[in-house]
Amino acid sequence: MTKGEITRNRIISEAAPLFNKHGFDGCSMQEISVATGLEKASLYGHFATKEELAGEAFRYAWKQSCSARMGNLGDVANSVDKLKLHIENLASKQAFPGGCPLWNTATDTDDGNSVLRSMAKEALRDWISALNQIIEEGQSKGEIGADVDPEGLSTLIISLMEGAFITSQLQESGRVLRVAQQHLNAYIESQVRTRPQANETL
């Protein structure tokens, strides 16, 4: 890796929490200059525009979030248990400094920046797709009921946990995340996990 690439990556990693906490309009290149110790001219030597840097910062923040939320799912074999572990991660692990990059970016760009909003939409599609894959694999292995709608379940998990996260921030309490986790786990055990037929237990 060249010196320029190292500097570019450092700028991204140090700018990402600032954009995530303050939003695109609330984060100035001057703030990033102070955080990185680099002149603004140097920043623009690596990124043509603030929007380009914000896009790379979002990609970085989202990658870190995904690692925290999904990086250990390979530790369990059963697909239902993978879903429950993912929910546990969502309830217990901080996504990224300043909160969930997906939610923050979607909210921040609700009435503006179409490029960042498109990136947030793509990230959501990728998240849903990753959960769909777990569910479909579980169905092929007989661990998850064939009548379960993969995209419907994926969307339910994401929507409930993201909503609970926002509520927990406003209430300054993690209790609502645990309540959401408990309800999702109960639903998954009763409606998603397959149960042995009576003649299979004899």
189: domain CATH number is: 1.10.357.10
User: What tens digit of pLDDT does each residue of 53-87 get?
Assistant: 999 999 999 999 999 999 999 999 999 999 999 99
Whole-number Å distance between alpha carbons of 56 and 8: 10
Q: Is residue 71 part of a domain?
A: yes
- pLDDT category of residue 107 using cuts at 50, 70 and 90: confident
For the chain, give the percent of residues with pLDDT over 70: 96
Greater confidence (122 vs 173) lies with 122
Q: Is residue 202 part of a domain?
A: no
Greater confidence (162 vs 201) lies with 162
Q: Is residue 91 part of a domain?
A: yes
**DSSP E strand stretches across the chain:** none
What is the average pLDDT score of the chain? 93
Whole-number Å distance between alpha carbons of 36 and 13: 10
Residues 6 or more apart whose CB falls under 8 angstroms from that of 202 comprise: none
For the chain, give the percent of residues with pLDDT over 90: 81
Q: How many domains does the chain have?
A: 1
- pLDDT category of residue 110 using cuts at 50, 70 and 90: confident
Q: Which SS3 state, helix, strand or coil, does residue 28 take?
A: coil
Question: What pLDDT score was predicted for residue 202?
Answer: 42
Lowest mean pLDDT among 9-13, 104-108, 160-164: 104-108
Question: What pLDDT score was predicted for residue 197?
Answer: 64
Q: Which SS3 state, helix, strand or coil, does residue 147 take?
A: coil
Q: Is residue 88 within 8 Å of 177, Cβ to Cβ?
A: no
* Domain coverage including residue 135: 3-197
